[in-house]
Homo-oligomer: A and B are copies of this chain.
Amino acid sequence: MSKDIKNIFHKQGLKFTPQRRAVLKVLQDTQAYLSINRIHTKVKELLPGTGLATVYRSLETLVELELAVKVHLEDGCHSYTLAPEGHRHPIVCTDCSRVIEYTECPIQDISKKLSKKTGVLIKTHFLQLFGKCEECRN
């Protein structure tokens, strides 16, 4: 597993540094959207002394490698989470920010229709669902 990820870095001529490892581990261990500052805090628990700029740079790298995704929350803050495998969309609990992935994409089916109808050649889409999870409803 870790070997695979290591290779993803090495194939791009990138180093698999402790800092990048730590950022990735934080995302893996937290199935939720995390702001930069929360990621920084958690990373420093694993690797004291890690700088904020490094967290920014690591996240940028992880997104380029498609190991993480940048998401957009309504309050305006950018957050990050582990990249889903395959084509998936997140359902986010607005209370606890837990993320549940789901695989049924209703967009792909209608993309072609919409392209014809609107004249816009649709390439990508961004979809997030928001709600309240079971635990938070008690």
Contact = CB atoms under 8 A, between A and B. Distances in A.
Interface stretch (A3-11, A15-23, A37-45, A113-121): A113-121
Interface residues of A, number: 37
A88 interface: no
A117 B129 CA distance: 14
Contact of A110 (B74, B104, B119, B121): B104
Given A91-B122, A130-B125, A76 B76 contact: no
Interface in A45-93: 70, 72, 74, 76, 78, 91, 93
Interface of A: 70, 72, 74, 76, 78, 91, 93-94, 100, 102, 104, 106-107, 109-111, 114-115, 117-134, 137
